[in-house]
Chains A and B, each alone.
Chain A
Amino acid sequence: MAKAWKFQNNINTDQIIPGRYYPRENVEELGEFCLCELHPKFAKEKQKGDIIVGGSNFGCGSSREYAPIALKYSGVKCIIAKSFARIFYRNCINLGFPILVCKECYDEITEGDDIDVNLESGEIKNNTSGKKYNAQPLPEFVLKIVDAGGMINYLKEQANSENTNEV
């Protein structure tokens, strides 16, 4: 059972983790403050494995990697959104934090719905409504990074394989 938390369009990095909450020595603490001002109920009641469903341009604004770090340590399993802002998208991929693009999910999933996500296949199931969705496949190059578990692991794999010219 994974609960869906619903967020609107243009959720920006200042909302995901306001500048006043970082830098701090222990980045794991940021999970507690993730989205705390925008959606206090989420901040208080979120459970490990819950899912965020957002609209278009999720993660717009600054390049702070503290935003995906805060989401990661909030315990959220993944984010499903209509679209993502560029730097945030790349930061998530680099960290190996799962993000899925699905346009219908935003329109059809209601906060509190019980959602199952298969990160490998991109299948999304809404157990509350019974509907099923498929996330857009990731671009090939991005998929390689995700499969490796993030950018640093990807570079390690590249270095270990014969093809070392990319490092």
Chain B
Amino acid sequence: MASNFDTTAILPPPRSETGALGWARANLFSTPFNSALTGISLAALTFALVFGLRWVVFSADWSVVATVGHRFVIGSYNSDQACPGNNCFWRPQASLLLVTLLMGMAWGVARAGLVRRIAILTAVVAALFALLPYSMDRMGMDVRLLLAANLLTLGAGWALGRYTPFGSTRAIAITSVVFFALTIALMLGFRIGDSNWLQPVDVRHWGGLTLNLILAVAGITLSLPIGIALALGRRSRLPVLKVVCVTFIEVLRGVPLITLLFMSQHIVPLAFPDTFPRNSLLNAGIVITLFSSAYMAENIRGGLQALHPGQAEAARALGLPGWQTMLLISLPQAIRNVIPAIVGQFIGLFKDTSLVYIIGMLDMVEVGRTTITGRPEYQGTAQEMFVFIAIVFWIFTYGMSYISRRVERNLGVGER
């Protein structure tokens, strides 16, 4: 059919409405007020960038980060008091190998997507650390080899996940628990005959980012189930259970974590007989986990409350017993709907691991603080130190929120 229109007469939109110019007009200079905002923000941004870059490149002295490097990672774990002979540095590094092995397995199972990217990124970053000139005087080469070996373990894990019976989600879940226990055992150490290549290291000396990560992993894994149990207890019709759960949740939520940590060290031991082992790491872990699970319980309760009662009623009508209704119908939906809140809580937990300084543990932040205040030669480099620590924390926390957004998208939250 012939067109009645002369197509050449349809003009393209004016230049000022399309392309970069149009975009700038629409998004930056749509009104005089908007133009002023753009001008002010641009000026502030330029100032901040120039000032910041000049500081980062010219005036900042990053050598402090490199010199203290290994202490950031493990605190005083390899010090003379903790590990006579200073031959313990390899143990946290070996734990890292377990992590990359596990990530390789997850990649082998998931085949592609986010898991692969995270696994590869972790292993490559870990391997790249081998190139850093950080002070590993007495352990030197072997630690670098261990770091570089992360690439190998990643590959091995991938092969395991891809081609062996280990390649299932369940196997990975079990392996991760086993590996966590292995990591703890490796870090704790034990005597083998007369040799001291695995000599015990007291938990008082655990520190650095390793401590933050161990506390965070244990806390995140345990606070979710405890939080679910507390949430269910709070919704229970049994008055005794309900009162106990409500009291527990409200007291823990109403008090600062730092107060609880201090109490865990100085008051809670009184409540146990003297024969009980005193362990500051365990104390910190338990308090952080319980504190976090109280918040978690409230998030999950929110999710359960938002759920339409018809879901549970339909399940009951189909003949599912109460616990199956909860476990298979209500909880999965409730948790899916509050993923952002749960991950927010995980991030909060990770950030809160920096508070263990109050019970004298040397986590990454405390390493930075004690270095600045304890050594006169580093006194002028506090900004470099804390900017570095902030960036390390930021990478982990932002990574967590990024993963949560991806998971949410994959689960189709808010779409069905």
Do they bind each other?
no
Binding site for A on B (CB under 8 A): none
